[in-house]
Structure 1
Amino acid sequence: MNGASGAHRGAAVPGARRRPGRWLWWAIVAVGYVAAFSLLSAALAAGMPLSVAYGVWAAAGVALTAMLSAVFFKESLTWLMGLGLALVMGGVLLIEAGGH
């Protein structure tokens, strides 16, 4: 029960604008996971070394999560976080260079 009005949780409120349901966010996450694993598999099948493919995959996940959380959830993205992302990407490049 919602204290003051006594309305049940989730009940329609006249004139209220309906927001996308949780199912939409779940669908976006599911599509993202399928795409991420499919692209990782394709990179490995094309002959990319596992250490490089996984490094790029993980670094991209960290970088995209940080950037998208700043856009969608208004979280801060400081210069120190940017430096951390650059170091992660630099580490992946060093692994790639060390493999040749």
Structure 2
Amino acid sequence: MSSDQSRSGAPVPVPRTAVPLGITDPVTQARAELKAALHAIEVKANVPRRLGQATERRTQRARALAARNPAAAAVAAVALAAAVGAVVWGAVRLYVR
């Protein structure tokens, strides 16, 4: 059985940043490696997309916490607001001086 197929015989999808197995032609192999490298650079360098994904993960975690323990979520929200307020206050104070 080939390593790029599942036990049921269906092909396993290859991530865009990986090189498929079983390529024997050196030119095709080089093209596949270049394509995978360019996709990996695109994924790594796309900061707005990565920030959006991180924000989505944090939002999901916060909603799960709020569903499990509303009191802890309220305390966390107040602590976050106080921290942001302190940072803004400190930045304004430094700017005014």
Q: TM-score, normalised by structure 2?
A: 0.29
Q: Quick check: which one's helix share is greater?
A: 2
| TM-score, structure 1 normalization | 0.28
